[in-house]
Amino acid sequence: MPHPRQHATNPLAEISAVPDGLTATVPRQLVHRASVAETLITGGTGTDTDRFTVFAQWPRAHQLHVSPDRTAYEPLLVAETVRQAGTLIAHTVYQVPLGHKFVLKEMRITTRPEHLAIGPAPAEPALHIAVSDVDHRGGRPAGFRYDADIRLGGDRVATAHVAATWTSEAVYRRLRGGRTAATVSALPVPPGLPPAVVGRALPADVVLAASDHPDRWQLRVDTAHAVFFDHPLDHVPGMLLLEAVRQAVRARTRTGRRTPVSFHTLFHQYAELDRPVWIEALDKQGAYDTDVHVVGQQGESAVFECAVGTEER
């Protein structure tokens, strides 16, 4: 149901009050980033009750979110931008305290690669966001869904749908049973696949290790990776799991002719740092023009599953 609060003021606009003609990123804490360099959102405004426009800037060079030849933005840059936009809205509009922990439940991203070419200046997309299904507990928002229409100039470059919940730090600690970034250590990182096989330039950015099955890999969890682990975590972050999906599709094709352009991911439970995560891919037609199905397994449980749409390149 719509959030009952009428947005008489514009908190999104207030958080980035800089002189006219100048642009700054929003405070990094509002998008759950420790690094200013990884903060993509530059501001936003309310357009109606539960409707917003959020602005971002995409860098022309990036370790993960730009193609190795620096000609195109990666689809997962859209995913990270949409995630940050939702976090910003939750904190500034729905008054979620900064200490609360967010849980990503579902993310559906569909991109149009023909509009993701890198130009002579950093791209500045606008995200038109509509929030729905706000869940309330104890009279306070505890989660929501939102749809995003991402545009560059007059071109629609992507669409997205996200479902997320949040909880207080005290409740989160109870749910996690004492597992914290300080008490849980990741497994040793196994040797990765060759970077070219997964469409990466650097060995450090490879997140898959070979197994005894050609379409099954062990997730490499390197907590020293400055993008995936921008700050200490007690579990494997969702963006690392999405990168594993991307790399699994690239590794599976082997020829490199097919590349993922859409992702429909359901996150079922936390992926723990101290237990191996196995990534498996298979051909499977699904909704939203998807043709590959990727599952992340930990023990006997699926931690996530993702239907991927690919295009020949």
DSSP structure class, residue 287: G
Judge if pTM exceeds 0.85.
yes
- pLDDT, residue 18, reads 65
Lowest mean pLDDT among 165-179, 193-207, 277-291: 277-291
> Is a pLDDT exceeding 50 seen at residue 5?
no
For range 172-176, the mean pLDDT: 93
Lowest mean pLDDT among 5-9, 62-66, 271-275: 5-9
> Is a pLDDT exceeding 50 seen at residue 3?
no
Give residues with Cβ within 8 angstroms of 91, minimum separation 6.
Answer: 30, 97, 98
> Is a pLDDT exceeding 70 seen at residue 69?
yes
> Is a pLDDT exceeding 70 seen at residue 207?
yes
Question: In angstroms, rounded to a whole number, what is the distance separating the alpha carbons of residues 249 and 191?
Answer: 19
> Is a pLDDT exceeding 60 seen at residue 164?
yes
Residue bearing the bigger pLDDT, 254 or 299:
299
Given a contact cutoff of 8 angstroms between Cβ atoms, the answer to whether 275 and 298 are in contact is yes
Lowest mean pLDDT among 17-31, 75-89, 272-286: 17-31
Bridge partners of residue 73, in order along the sequence: 66
> Is a pLDDT exceeding 50 seen at residue 8?
no
Strands 101-111 and 41-48: unpaired
> Is a pLDDT exceeding 80 seen at residue 288?
no
- pLDDT, residue 97, reads 95
> Is a pLDDT exceeding 80 seen at residue 192?
yes
Question: In angstroms, rounded to a whole number, what is the distance separating the alpha carbons of residues 187 and 185?
Answer: 7
Q: What are 80-138's pLDDT values in tens digits?
A: 999 999 999 999 999 999 999 999 999 999 999 999 999 999 999 999 999 999 999 98
- pLDDT, residue 144, reads 97
For range 284-300, the mean pLDDT: 90
Q: What are 41-58's pLDDT values in tens digits?
A: 999 999 888 999 999 999
For range 277-303, the mean pLDDT: 92
Cβ atoms within 10 Å, residue 280: 18
For the chain, which domains are there? Answer: 11-174 (3.10.129.10), 178-312 (3.10.129.10)
Q: pLDDT confidence of 17, banded at 50, 70, 90?
A: low
Q: What are 94-108's pLDDT values in tens digits?
A: 999 999 999 999 999
Lowest mean pLDDT among 75-79, 256-260, 308-312: 256-260
For range 273-295, the mean pLDDT: 91
- pLDDT, residue 242, reads 98
The 126-137 sheet, strands edge to edge = 41-48, 51-56, 126-137, 140-152, 155-167, 101-111, 258-267, 301-312, 290-298, 278-286, 216-219, 208-210
For the chain, give the mean pLDDT. 92
